[in-house]
Structure 1
């Protein structure tokens, strides 16, 4: 009996389009072919066959790398976007600023104490004034 192994983690399963390649890989390989073959055909007469092949490989290799590269489930374009943002767009030194909650509480407590003292001071003065009026009668 034939059996098929089914992976437990389905996040890594990619949809294959043709020749067991994903759509992204097919696009990258076709761009590499569109660039690589003309480079070879037009340069082999002037620089020789061997050097034309090496030049073609040099032109095609980055597209192969982009098609195959995947790190932690992230494709090359997104990965380079993260690196560019980190190195060039965002500042290199990030300041660590906190809001001191205890200083806020202390300030709130001091202001509350001051308002209570003012209120208590007003009441005592008012009651003292009333008492002084009552005493004079």
Structure 2
């Protein structure tokens, strides 16, 4: 009897469309072919076969990387965007800031005392510069 291994984490399974490739991989390989082959045939006569092949490889390589490279389940463009964000866009030093809950409570207590003093009429002289009436 044959045993078939079943993965425990089903989130890593991707739907295969044709030739055991995903839609993303098929599109990236098609773009690589559309860019690389005409360039090779255009450069073959003027620059030589080996230089044309090298240029074709350099042009097609980013498409292959976009199709195949994944790190922690993230495709290449997401990884590159994260690297750019951390290296160039965001601040290098991010200070740790907390909200002092005790200071907020103190401020709230002070405001409540001030409001209650205004309501009772004992704080009128402090606000307007006049002495309170008796």
Question: Please, what TM-score do these two structures have when normalized by structure 1?
Answer: 0.72
Contiguous gaps of at least 5 residues in structure 1: 123-137
Taking the aligned partners of 1:112 and 1:25, their CA distance within structure 2 comes to 64
Taking the aligned partners of 1:114 and 1:45, their CA distance within structure 2 comes to 89
- Superposed CA RMSD in Å reads 2.7
Q: In the comparison of the two structures, how many residue pairs are matched?
A: 121
Q: How far has the Cα of 1:59 moved from its partner?
A: 0.8
Question: Please, what TM-score do these two structures have when normalized by structure 2?
Answer: 0.73
Q: How far has the Cα of 1:8 moved from its partner?
A: 1.1
Contiguous gaps of at least 5 residues in structure 2: 123-134
Is 2:26 aligned against 1:26?
Answer: yes
Q: How far has the Cα of 1:112 moved from its partner?
A: 6.9
Question: Cα 1:11–1:111, aligned 2, differ >3 Å: closer, same or farther?
Answer: closer
Taking the aligned partners of 2:51 and 2:111, their CA distance within structure 1 comes to 82
Residue aligning to 1:85: 85
Q: How far has the Cα of 1:76 moved from its partner?
A: 1.3
Taking the aligned partners of 1:94 and 1:48, their CA distance within structure 2 comes to 53
Larger Rg: 1
Q: How far has the Cα of 1:98 moved from its partner?
A: 2.5
